[in-house]
Amino acid sequence: QQQVKQSPQSLIVQKGGISIINCAYENTAFDYFPWYQQFPGKGPALLIAIRPDVSEKKEGRFTISFNKSAKQFSLHIMDSQPGDSATYFCASEVSSNTGKLIFGQGTTLQVKP
């Protein structure tokens, strides 16, 4: 079964630091790579997404870096804040034009004040 492998499982960062979460995918036909943020008691919320025609996408303090040849993509959170403490999931489309997503295992981020 196709997978998306996410690491690390948990991450502790000091306030103001950079948080980096990595994902690797298997299928070169995947063409949509979102990141979701989930706070306790809430469902995941779309944070930022990228398509493979670009190598980087930035929205505020959040950046996705995409390496098509390595089949990897990562989320960078600059100037991490305690309010960023949450669980982050990467995902990719199961196959082109299906709208179905498979998710990584999740990374629990704690930003210490």
Partner 1 sequence: ETGVTQTPRHLVMGMTNKKSLKCEQHLGHNAMYWYKQSAKKPLELMFVYNFKEQTENNSVPSRFSPECPNSSHLFLHLHTLQPEDSALYLCASSQDPFLNYGYTFGSGTRLTVV
Cβ proximity to partner 1: between 40 and 113 the closer is 40
Unique residue bearing structure tokens 């179905």? 100
- Site size toward partner 1 (CB under 8 A) is 23
- The CA distance from 100 to 106, in Å, is 18
Cβ proximity to partner 1: between 36 and 80 the closer is 36
- The CA distance from 21 to 76, in Å, is 7
Neighbouring residues of 69: CB distance < 8 A, sequence distance ≥ 6: none
Q: Does 34 bind partner 1 (CB under 8 A)?
A: yes
* Stretch of 18-26, 38-46, 62-70, 72-80 contacting partner 1, by CB under 8 A: 38-46
Applying the rule CB under 8 A, the residues between 43 and 102 that interact with partner 1 are 43-46, 49, 89, 93, 97-102
C-beta of residue 2 within 8 angstroms of C-beta of residue 26: yes
Q: Does 11 bind partner 1 (CB under 8 A)?
A: no
C-beta of residue 2 within 8 angstroms of C-beta of residue 100: no
- Positions touching partner 1 (CB under 8 A) are 4, 32, 34, 36, 41-46, 49, 89, 93, 97-106
